[in-house]
Amino acid sequence: MSDSPRITRRSLFRGIGSVTVVAGCATPAKPEPQPAPGLAAATPPIDGVALGPGPAALRFTLNGATQTVEVAPSTTLLDLLRHQLNATGSKLVCDRGACGACTVLVGGVPRPSCMTLAHDVADAEVTTVEGLASAGKLSVLQQAFIDHDALQCGYCTSGMLMSCQALLARNGATDAAAVETAISGNLCRCGTYPNIVAAVLSAAKAGA
Amino acid sequence: MTGPTTTLKVGFAKQLRDIQVALPPGEPRPWDATDKLEIVGKPIPRIEAPAKVTGAAKYTHDIRLPGLLHAAILRSPHPCATLGALDLEAARRAPGVVAVLALAKPGDRLLFVGQDVAAVAASTPQQAQDALRQISATYKPEPFVIGTAAAMASDAPRVHTGKVEERSTEGDEPGSSGGATQKGNIRMTPSQKKGDVDKGLRMARVTHEATYTTQVHTHSALETHSIVVRWDDPKHMTVWCSTQGIFSVRDELAEVFELKAQDVHVITDFIGGGFGAKFGASAPGSRMGFVAGELARLARAPVALLLDRREEHLCTGNRPDSIQRVTLGASPAGELTAIKVVAHGSAGIGTGAGVGRNASGIYTKCQNIRVESHDVFTHAGPATAFRAPGHPQGAFALELALDELAVKLGKDPLDLRIAHNEHPVRRHQFELGREKFSWDKRRKQAVAQHNSGARLRHGVGVAASIWGDFGRGNAVTATCSVGRDGSIELRNGLQDIGGGITTVVAQVVAEVLHRPVSEVRVKIGDSELGSSVGSGGSNTTSSVTPAVRAAAEAVKTQLTALAVKQLGARSSADLRWDSKGVSAGKKSLGFAELCKYISGESITATGTRPETYGAYPTKFAGGNSYQIAGVQFAAIEVDTWTGLVRVQSVLALHDCGRVMNELTCRSQIQGGIILGTSYALTEQRVMDPVHGVMLNANLDAYKIAGARDVPDMEVVFTEVHTGANNTGAIGIGEPATIPTAAAIACALYNALGVPVRSLPLTPDRVLAALGVVPGHTG
């Protein structure tokens, strides 16, 4: 990382602009693959206006409130949240989508915000851990996490909550295995997994 | 000076007895087996949890200050090199850069990939990273050595040219270090000795000798090492640090910048895991405290230095690997005559690769024991304390070797253990576990299954834990106050690393004052709230809660005097306290009403914890502290076609003195088991011996256990009243992870009929042990 040049995701994007990257990756001869559920609304059309390398306007909804910000196309959603919007509940841990600590909901779908470019949530609805409680009242899931001691140091907690919230929203918390699968992309170093499973199952039972 | 002696009822289960303890003046009578507590011990959810589930909790990574700059460190790309030229001028002129700092001089020898070379501070994290690429550094690479065995060769490149000074932290086991001699890359430390091991081996009729190896294990706390420094003026700084020891941060920075300790204000409201690697302002392999402080001084602006995941693996410590030659001797009747362990391990460029007290401290009926632990220097980042330093690796080698000996003796491994263990609590745990885990039946089933040649096989194993009560005396000053408005506050400069001490402290105050936990406000995480201990050595609860209780009792004494006066009682003996308040005869006062009579704003008192005054029933090997007992049983399933091992269940029987909070204590034990499972099956630092770099410095190829890797866990508390301090708290963080990997390895041996003597127990090693594929070295 010192005497030899290192290409990072950010420097690459910054150098050539995000739209060019997306366009360069597409293979026109083949039919467009169907985007994954939840991605459709969030992904800007590839024939749109080229953005960058400087900051460009971005509009999206964060926890119910419309946000209009100027952000460089190379900026990840996580950096936007943590550094520009002071929403520090989502954590930067691995910076490569391996640990789930930065999980947020984009259009209701859990996604690693460290692997999502900020401009990819244009016009989408983003929910972070700060958006789970309403009017100062904890959600059923948040309260279940507390009651079942589903957290120790708390650093994985926000990402865990978002993955579990998405599971509950699709009525998927049918048994322990389903919860374990839902959080299989979320790492916890303190070892809270069984308590998280118990918390989610109890929240599901309570109709969360 | 001591006060009158007090009779305490101590012991465990039905084995209780009275002991006489001389208490220091003013010390509350310790809670013992006769005390029925109403709040302490109960499964009360964490009081700080709402901040954690809403994202409101501010960790060091979350600190935002006006004008905050972001630092980044250029790290050596070479395992061993001499720094040639270092030119920071282009970086100094790079966009957003405010300060640059050289951390090595031309001619300096750099000893591992990731060592500090230079640092920058810039307006954004990205600008800091970009500026690093503007630094021109040239290196003259030198020969290096990575593998521990390779480094032991007499012709291996020397890592250090001079004598190496030992670095220790509050995470290290007290008393585990000592004088050492050095030869080549090997640094020999004094051995743990009892009797004459050579004689014991000569007496033996049955012997077992084999080599066991364990891997390097990185802490991988989710929050990386991080520090934010703001100079308030040239003689005062405010620091936010992700640390297990607030006062260790303060003292390091005071020393480095020649400040008075009280002029360094350290804040740690929340910390995203530590596991032993976060003591002091710096990381074990990076001078983070100096870097952040000096850049902030140069830039005249606050600086945040937050490591990334790769740096976290390379230069913030790890659990050393080990190569352990174990020799056991026994009489034909199965009496152990000798336990000999010769261990070599690499803490990289650092020290502290010992293998703990398992071999010398648990099966002590054996009269002849010798354990030698030697450090082997390699060109890798320094190790540091990691949740029970030395012990998981020591447990693995010793316990698996015992199982192999038991097979040679034709004895049940659990019988062999019980016969040689002298700790009454551990013996109780072994016996209890045997029954609860259906040990005898499952051992027989495993043999039958093995003989049938089934593809999926099952096995059970057992291993023991040993740790000491390292609760510290005279280290904690807690302040309790009750306001005229009835508010209750407890203040102390401790940090909650996730064990749940915040809640336990509130419970102690609530117990003493007969108030609900929700009424107790706990202020911690700040060096200005009174001295406290670092969270290492499983000593937080045992060091802090006695001081908290002393403070609360002192407040209670004053409230009692007030109540006697207001109720017109003859003496405090006439008062009855309950959750409503206080009464005497037919007169009563609610707590809030009583508080209104407080003259001035509040009643405030401080409390401290005297030295530990008892070690009942058994002392820790080599010390005067109580020996904490624990035993874990594991059941595994192994696929003999693929070599994949799954841990199905773990039964954990642990002693942690008084259980202060059943909920958080259970969580901590579960966490220890999960860490041990992860260590047993998947985690390992992979180094490229040709290039000297770590190949999996991330969280996708460095495999830590996920939700689906977790066994079913049953936790049994075998509560012990030790009379060691006034709350009876001991410790659990470390004991809970010590025996897990060992028990899993023993269970695998039971299932396969052949031992896998290297951690982690990966499919290739299982298949090699079965003779299906060739084995590999290491």
DSSP B735: G
**Residue numbers of B between 706 and 735 with CB closer than 8 Å to A:** 706-708, 710, 713
* Strand pairing report for B576-577 and B581-584: antiparallel
Residue B607 · residue B551 · CB < 8 Å: yes
* Strand pairing report for A109-112 and A125-127: unpaired
Distance (Å) from the alpha carbon of B758 to chain A's nearest alpha carbon:
23
Q: Which of chain A's residues have a Cβ under 8 Å away from the Cβ of B221?
A: 153, 155, 189
Tell me which H or E stretch contains A157.
helix A157-169
Read off the pLDDT band of A26 (50, 70, 90): very low
B749 in the same domain as B620? yes
A180 in the same domain as A109? no
Residue at A1 is within a domain: no
| Residue ranges making up the domain that contains B242 | 60-144+220-315
What are the tens digits of pLDDT across the range B196-218? 999 999 999 999 999 999 999 99
3 state DSSP class of B445: helix
B251 in the same domain as B115? yes
Res B178: pLDDT: 65
A79 in the same domain as A40? yes
The residue from B283, B300, B315 where one domain ends is B315
Averaged over A133-141, what is the pLDDT? 95
- Which residues, in sequence order, are CB contacts of A13 under 8 Å at separation 6+? A21, A52, A73, A74, A117
Q: Which residue of A has its CA nearest to B85?
A: A3
B264-267: strand order across its sheet? B97-102, B116-122, B69-75, B303-306, B226-233, B236-241, B264-267
3 state DSSP class of B569: coil
Per DSSP, helices labelled H in B77-236 are 89-92, 125-132, 148-152, 197-203
B498 in the same domain as B458? no
Q: Do A146 and B126 touch (CB under 8 A)?
A: no
Residue at A180 is within a domain: yes
B598 in the same domain as B706? no
Res B773: pLDDT: 87
Pick among B53, B224, B668 to test the A interface (most A CBs inside 10 A): B53
* CATH code for position A111: 3.10.20.30
The residue from B283, B315, B347 where one domain ends is B315
Residue at A135 is within a domain: no
The residue from A129, A151, A177 where one domain ends is A129
Residue at B43 is within a domain: no
Residue at A134 is within a domain: no
B661 in the same domain as B523? no
What type of residue is B545? T
B239 in the same domain as B121? yes
Q: Calculate what percentage of chain A has a pLDDT beyond 70.
A: 77
3 state DSSP class of B390: coil
The tally of domains found in chain A comes to 2
Residue at B159 is within a domain: no
Residue at B99 is within a domain: yes
The tally of domains found in chain B comes to 3
Residue at B325 is within a domain: no
A124 in the same domain as A32? yes
A117 in the same domain as A51? yes
| Residue ranges making up the domain that contains A113 | 9-129
Residue at B180 is within a domain: no
Question: Cβ of B74 under 8 Å from any chain A Cβ?
Answer: yes
Positions in chain B whose pLDDT score sits under 50 = 777-778
Residue at A13 is within a domain: yes
Read off the pLDDT band of A12 (50, 70, 90): very low
Averaged over A93-101, what is the pLDDT? 97
Q: Rounded CA gap, B642 and B683, in Å?
A: 19
What are the tens digits of pLDDT across the range B392-409? 999 999 999 999 999 999
Residue at B359 is within a domain: no
B597 in the same domain as B654? no
* CATH code for position B511: 3.30.365.10
B638 in the same domain as B696? yes
Residue at A4 is within a domain: no
* CATH code for position A187: 1.10.150.120
Residue at B536 is within a domain: yes
Pick among B87, B126, B222 to test the A interface (most A CBs inside 10 A): B222
B645 in the same domain as B572? no
A151 in the same domain as A66? no
Residue at A42 is within a domain: yes
Res B177: pLDDT: 63
B296 in the same domain as B251? yes
Read off the pLDDT band of A30 (50, 70, 90): very low
The residue from B608, B638, B657 where one domain ends is B608
A121 in the same domain as A85? yes
A63 in the same domain as A145? no
B301 in the same domain as B233? yes
B538 in the same domain as B514? yes
SS3 content of chain A, % helix, strand, coil (to 5): 35, 15, 50
Residue at B48 is within a domain: no
Res B379: pLDDT: 98
Question: Cβ of B518 under 8 Å from any chain A Cβ?
Answer: no
Res A48: pLDDT: 66
A32 in the same domain as A109? yes
